[in-house]
Every structure is written in structure tokens, then in C-alpha cells.
Structure 1
């Protein structure tokens, strides 16, 4: 259900949540991929794979956060 008030603080909070999902997913994917690359000796492969997985999970989280705000404005 979309919020009824259009507070600027709510918008600032939404933007910070969106950016933290994207940055958090990318950084986490990069760290996991780099760690596994160092352990297994497969230099850029797992870094790229987990970076893309982190980016995908970040965008999925953004979609789930923004989904209640999408829809008809008829209400």
C-alpha cells in the first residue's frame, strides 16, 4: 500500500534504501568473489560471477522495495 503522506523525509529514506541495496549487493559480491578467487586460484572468473550476482540481487531488492509505490493513482 503506498503511503498517504508525501514527506520529503520518506523520499530521502527511500533513496538511501535503494542506494544501500545496490552498493551492498555489489560490494558483498565483490568480496565473496575475490575471497573465493584467492582460495581456488581462479583469478577473475568468480569475482565477475559474484559481482554480477550481487548486482542482480541488489536490483531485485530495489524492485521489491519500490513495488508498493508502483501502480494506479486512482485511489
Structure 2
């Protein structure tokens, strides 16, 4: 009989999908609020909000790549 592999658990897949979604949302929201803060400091320039969202999206994507690398590496060496 084949022993179950802990790296192929459905709970592990659910946690990965949840982590990716939450990470992307948090990064974009932080970018938005930082952009809004800078926009308010500079005199209500909406370009900073857009730049903050784009920067947050880029950071979120890089973070997702890092998360995927961590989840897909072999824990046994």
C-alpha cells in the first residue's frame, strides 16, 4: 500500500491558494493607501495612487513567485 505524501495534501493546496489571494490583496491595498497618502501630501495628484497600486501589484506578484518557490521545493532535499 502506498503511503500518503504530505506534500500532496488537499489542505496544502487550499492554504496555497488562500495565501496567494490574501497576499495579492494586501500588497495592492498597501500600495493604494501609500499612493493616496503621497497624493494627499503632494496636492491631490491621482497619478500617485495609480503608481502605488501598480507598485503594490508588482510587489504582490514577486511575493507570489517567492511563495510558489517555497511550496514547490522538495522538503526531503
Gaps of at least 5 residues in structure 2 are none
Aligned residue pairs, count: 68
- Deviation digits for residues 31-52 of structure 1, max 9, x if unmatched? 0101110111142111111111
Which residue of 1 is the match for residue 56 of structure 2? Answer: 54
Moved over 6 A (4+): none
Larger radius of gyration: 2
Greater relative CO (CA pairs within 8 A, separation 6+)? 1
Superposition TM-score, scaled by structure 2 size = 0.78
Superposition TM-score, scaled by structure 1 size = 0.80
